[in-house]
């Protein structure tokens, strides 16, 4: 019920629209009720051979029809706008919330699940709020009016005829209670199915490579069967209750025939009254069905609403404090003091007790084994995650105390697996600064050694690059990601050994560009190779989430056995490709 009330809250901005659509709906209903009455009068006129009366009533029917036409048109227009408005609002709200939620939320969620909330669930809510409510109100009003009319005619017979009504309500209620969780489970399983499909389509290359189509199909069949089973369960509930709900009014009709018929035979009821009674109860059947149907729509909307609220109610863990100041001006002085980080749901801390101070403009290389905490450490700077203990300061300000957007605008990351958006090359490079001119974008591309291959693309900078940038090679994606970071003009740069998948000579050029780029910025490099380490002023060796050594290359060779081991084993430094890369639209395997 709480969910239901909250759903109603989304109609708040459309109060006027809702009021009008109710008004129009009731007006149209009035006209609909009026027409049979007028028809009755016309029949009377025919029986009385009243030509004039016949014409008057006929014209009145036409007028009522016309009024209903106008009212219905407006009702539909207004209700349609309200319903679509609610859908847009809810979806935008949901999306905005998703954009606010911290990364650890997405680490544990399937994209398909989230997507199904924004589409299937939303439409159920939209339908109900836009149309369902009006139908429910209309049905209830019809029921009320007909009941009043019947009691006015013959209270005893009315009580008898309406006796099955409470049972209808009871059964409808029980129907709703049973069908709601069943339908919710259907939605849940459809969401799982979507996730399954999504994963398969993303991983299609692996599936094909291992010739596992049949097994994936079997897995998908399993998901489909789960949807089927649940849908059938829901159908069974419907098959049990639906006919029962429409059966009950027939008992009322039979009672009227049985008791009312006898009353007519015994002369205590006129035939006309009897007919009217019968007609009123007939009028009740359709709203009763509508009510049943709409109740289940309400159930569905509530089920969907619950799933939407699950996301909406999740408070973002990482937000700017109220009226947070912008990141103070500076040149990128970074200090981590006593920092520990434990990811949700893991036991071992990813970082413990890190103390690190980096002067503005310095370049720090982070070295260490897989899982030693290099990536975790740099993800604390733009607050992708928040520290569990300690604090991170940039130019003297605790990152948790400043405006998040201003913070992230000053930090650019180039990861080892760059993600590009389905957009033009220009838009991808200008991602952080959408207002960048073509010239600025080209400058950034030139600095990242991407300009020449971009010019070779079919539409140059206006070439659309596909989902996940798949139509570009790894090296090309990498350079666009570097250009994107350069265009962002950040105070702090984070490189996740980003230069490693371009060929040797391009890498050399990129390194020169990076060196220039690094001059005015603080740079963190997650280094896998000696040549990258050579770029650094300071090397930090991480081991199991702790800083095990820190210093220059020569110092560390003396002081850190781990560093010496890494260097002696030979940093893999063998990216080996041709000197003049011929760029083409190669596709990663």
Partner 1 sequence: MNDIRRRMRQTGGRGRKLRGLIDLLRPYRWRVTAMFVSLVVATAAALAPAPLAKLAIDDGIRTHDVGALDLIVVAFLASAVIYVIASAVQTYLVGWVGQRALQDLRVQLFSHLQQLSIGFYSRNRAGVIISRLTNDVEALDQLVEDGIATLFQSGLTLIGVVVILFALDPHLALLTFLALPVLAVGAFVFRIASADAYRLTREKIASITGYLQESLSGIRVVRAFGQEPKHIARFAELNDENRAANMTTVNLNAAYFPAVEFLSALVTVEILVIGGIEAINGHTSTGVVFAFIAALNNFFDPIQNLSQLYTTYQSGMAALDKIFELLDEQPDLSDAEDALTLPHVRGELQLDHVSFRYGTDEAGEWALRDIDLAVPAGQTVALVGATGAGKSTFAKLVARFYDPTEGRVMIDGHDLRSVSAQSLRSQLGIVPQEGFLFSGTVRENIAFGRPSATDEEISAAARAVGAEHFIEALEDGYNTQVGERGIQLSAGQRQLLAFARALVADPRILLLDEATSNVDVHTESLIEQGMRRLVAGRTAIVIAHRLSTIRHAGRIVVLEHGQIVESGTHEELIEAEGRYWELYRDWAEQAAA
Q: Which of residues 432-451 bind partner 1 (CB under 8 A)?
A: 432, 434
Q: What proportions of the chain, in percent to the nearest 5, are helix, strand and coil?
A: 65, 10, 25
Name the region of 123 (left: φ>0; alpha: ψ -120 to 50; beta: rest): alpha
CB atoms within 10 A of CB 521: 20
Using the minimum distance from each CB to partner 1, give the nearer residue, 119 or 459. 119
Least distance from partner 1 to the Cβ atom of residue 9, Å = 19
Task: Rule CB under 8 A: say whether 521 interacts with partner 1.
Answer: no
Q: What Å distances lie between residue 310 and 88, 98, 304, 401, 445, CA to CA?
A: 18, 11, 10, 28, 42
Consecutive H or E run containing 286:
helix 271-312
- Residues from 317 through 336 that contact partner 1 (CB under 8 A): none
- Which span (6-14, 104-112, 165-173, 350-358) binds partner 1, by CB under 8 A? 104-112
Among 19, 92, 459, 552, binds partner 1 (CB under 8 A): 92
Q: Is 120 within 8 Å of 190 (Cβ atoms)? A: yes
**How far is residue 220's CA from residue 163's CA, in Å, rounded to a whole number?**
50
- Residues from 55 through 74 that contact partner 1 (CB under 8 A): 55, 57-59, 61-62, 64-66, 68-69, 72-74
The candidate with the shortest Cα–Cα distance to 179, out of 234, 236, 124, 241, is 234
Kindly state the tokens that stand for 77: 């227009």
Size of the site for partner 1 (CB under 8 A): 184
Kindly state the tokens that stand for 270: 């006129």
- Which span (1-9, 13-21, 160-168, 570-578) binds partner 1, by CB under 8 A? 570-578
Among 209, 512, 519, 520, binds partner 1 (CB under 8 A): 209
Say which residue the tokens 């010496």 belong to. Answer: 564
Instruction: Specify the DSSP class assigned to residue 259.
Output: I
Using the minimum distance from each CB to partner 1, give the nearer residue, 76 or 553. 76
Using the minimum distance from each CB to partner 1, give the nearer residue, 2 or 63. 63
- Which span (132-140, 298-306, 394-402, 566-574) binds partner 1, by CB under 8 A? 566-574
Kindly state the tokens that stand for 224: 């489909």
Task: Rule CB under 8 A: say whether 518 interacts with partner 1.
Answer: no
- Residues from 237 through 276 that contact partner 1 (CB under 8 A): 238-240, 242-244, 246-247, 250-251, 253-254, 257-258, 261-262, 264-265, 271, 274-275
Dihedral sign computed on CA atoms, order 347, 353, 359, 360: positive
Using the minimum distance from each CB to partner 1, give the nearer residue, 126 or 180. 126
- Which span (93-101, 152-160, 334-342, 349-357) binds partner 1, by CB under 8 A? 93-101
Using the minimum distance from each CB to partner 1, give the nearer residue, 173 or 210. 210
Least distance from partner 1 to the Cβ atom of residue 323, Å = 18
Using the minimum distance from each CB to partner 1, give the nearer residue, 326 or 359. 326
**How far is residue 589's CA from residue 574's CA, in Å, rounded to a whole number?**
20
Say which residue the tokens 């009319």 belong to. Answer: 149
Task: Rule CB under 8 A: say whether 455 interacts with partner 1.
Answer: no
Q: What Å distances lie between residue 426 and 311, 393, 435, CA to CA?
A: 33, 33, 11
In total, the chain counts a number of residues equal to 589
Using the minimum distance from each CB to partner 1, give the nearer residue, 224 or 356. 224
Report angle CA 22, 25, 31 to the nearest 5 degrees.
Answer: 140
Q: Is 132 within 8 Å of 301 (Cβ atoms)? A: yes
- Which span (296-304, 340-348, 439-447, 515-523) binds partner 1, by CB under 8 A? 340-348
| Radius of gyration for the chain, computed over Cα atoms and rounded to the nearest angstrom | 35
Kindly state the tokens that stand for 178: 């049973």
Least distance from partner 1 to the Cβ atom of residue 450, Å = 12
Using the minimum distance from each CB to partner 1, give the nearer residue, 250 or 310. 250
Using the minimum distance from each CB to partner 1, give the nearer residue, 5 or 49. 49
Among 6, 91, 553, 564, binds partner 1 (CB under 8 A): 91
**How far is residue 99's CA from residue 92's CA, in Å, rounded to a whole number?**
10
Task: Rule CB under 8 A: say whether 161 interacts with partner 1.
Answer: no
- Residues from 366 through 405 that contact partner 1 (CB under 8 A): 367-372, 375, 382, 384, 404-405
Task: Rule CB under 8 A: say whether 33 interacts with partner 1.
Answer: no
Least distance from partner 1 to the Cβ atom of residue 1, Å = 27
Task: Rule CB under 8 A: say whether 165 interacts with partner 1.
Answer: no
- Residues from 487 through 516 that contact partner 1 (CB under 8 A): 488, 497-498, 500-505, 508
Q: Which residues contact 477 (CB under 8 A, 6 or more apart)?
A: 418, 420, 469
Instruction: List, as one string, the DSSP characters of 428-472.
Output: HHTSS-TT--HHHHHHHHHHTT-HHHHHHSTTGGG-EE-GGGTTS
Using the minimum distance from each CB to partner 1, give the nearer residue, 340 or 406. 406
Among 189, 307, 409, 491, binds partner 1 (CB under 8 A): 409
Task: Rule CB under 8 A: say whether 159 interacts with partner 1.
Answer: no
Instruction: Specify the DSSP class assigned to residue 203.
Output: T
Among 162, 171, 411, 454, binds partner 1 (CB under 8 A): 411
Among 145, 231, 391, 557, binds partner 1 (CB under 8 A): 231
Task: Rule CB under 8 A: say whether 458 interacts with partner 1.
Answer: no
Q: Which residues contact 384 (CB under 8 A, 6 or more apart)?
A: 102, 103, 318
């Amino acid at each position: 019920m709480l969910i239901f009330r909250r759903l109603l809250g989304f109609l708040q901005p459309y109060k006027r629209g809702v009021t009008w659509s109710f008004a129009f709906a009731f007006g149209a209903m009035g006209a609909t009720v009026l027409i049979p009455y007028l028809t009755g009068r016309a029949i009377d006129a025919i029986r009385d051979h009243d030509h004039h009366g016949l014409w008057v009533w006929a014209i009145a029917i036409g007028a009522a029809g016309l009024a209903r036409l106008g009212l219905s048109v407006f009702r539909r227009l207004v209700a349609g706008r309200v319903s679509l408005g609610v859908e847009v609002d809810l979806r935008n709200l949901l999306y905005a919330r998703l954009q606010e939620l911290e990364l650890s939320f997405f680490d544990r969620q399937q994209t398909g699940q989230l997507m199904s909330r924004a589409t299937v669930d939303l439409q159920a809510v939209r339908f109900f709020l836009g149309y369902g409510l009006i139908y429910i109100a209309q049905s209830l009003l019809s029921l009320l009016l007909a009941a009043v009319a019947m009691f006015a005619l013959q209270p005893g017979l009315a009580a008898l005829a309406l006796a099955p009504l409470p049972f209808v309500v009871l059964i409808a209620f029980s129907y709703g209670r049973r069908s709601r969780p069943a339908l919710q489970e259907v939605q849940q399983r459809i969401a799982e199915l979507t996730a399954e499909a999504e994963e398969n389509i993303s991983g299609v290359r692996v599936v094909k490579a291992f010739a596992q189509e049949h097994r994936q199909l079997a897995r998908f069949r399993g998901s489909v069967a789960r949807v089927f089973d649940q849908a059938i369960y829901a159908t069974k509930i419907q098959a049990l209750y639906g006919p029962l709900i429409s059966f009950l009014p027939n008992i009322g009709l039979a009672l009227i025939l049985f008791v009312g018929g006898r009353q007519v035979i015994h002369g205590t009821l006129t035939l006309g009254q009897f007919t009217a009674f019968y007609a009123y109860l007939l009028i009740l059947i359709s709203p009763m069905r509508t009510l049943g149907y709409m109740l289940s729509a309400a159930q569905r909307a509530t089920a969907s609403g619950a799933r939407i609220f699950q996301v909406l109610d999740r408070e973002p863990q990482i937000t700017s404090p109220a009226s947070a100041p912008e990141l103070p001006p500076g040149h990128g002085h970074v200090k981590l003091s006593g920092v520990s980080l434990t990811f949700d749901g893991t036991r071992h801390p990813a970082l413990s007790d890190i103390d690190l101070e980096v002067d503005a403009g310095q370049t720090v290389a982070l070295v260490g084994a897989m899982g030693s905490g290099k990536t975790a450490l740099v993800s604390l700077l733009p607050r992708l995650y928040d520290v569990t203990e300690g604090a991170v300061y940039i130019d003297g300000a605790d990152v948790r105390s400043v405006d998040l957007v201003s913070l992230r605008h000053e930090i650019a990351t180039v990861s080892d697996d760059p993600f590009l958006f389905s957009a033009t090359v220009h838009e991808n490079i200008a991602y952080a600064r959408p207002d960048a001119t073509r010239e600025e974008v080209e400058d950034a591309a030139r600095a990242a050694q991407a300009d020449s291959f971009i010019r070779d693309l079919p539409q140059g900078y206006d070439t659309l690059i596909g989902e996940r940038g798949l139509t570009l090679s790894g090296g090309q994606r990498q350079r666009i990601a570097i250009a994107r970071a350069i265009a962002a003009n950040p105070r702090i740069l984070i490189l996740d050994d980003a230069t490693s998948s371009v060929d040797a000579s391009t890498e050399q050029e990129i390194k020169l560009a990076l060196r220039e780029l690094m001059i005015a910025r603080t740079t963190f490099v997650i280094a896998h190779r000696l040549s990258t380490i050579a770029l650094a002023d300071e090397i930090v060796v991480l081991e199991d989430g702790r800083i095990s050594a820190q210093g220059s290359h020569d110092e560390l060779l003396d002081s850190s056995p781990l560093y010496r081991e890494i260097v002696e084993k030979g940093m893999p430094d063998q990216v080996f490709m041709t000197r003049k890369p011929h760029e083409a639209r190669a596709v990663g395997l």
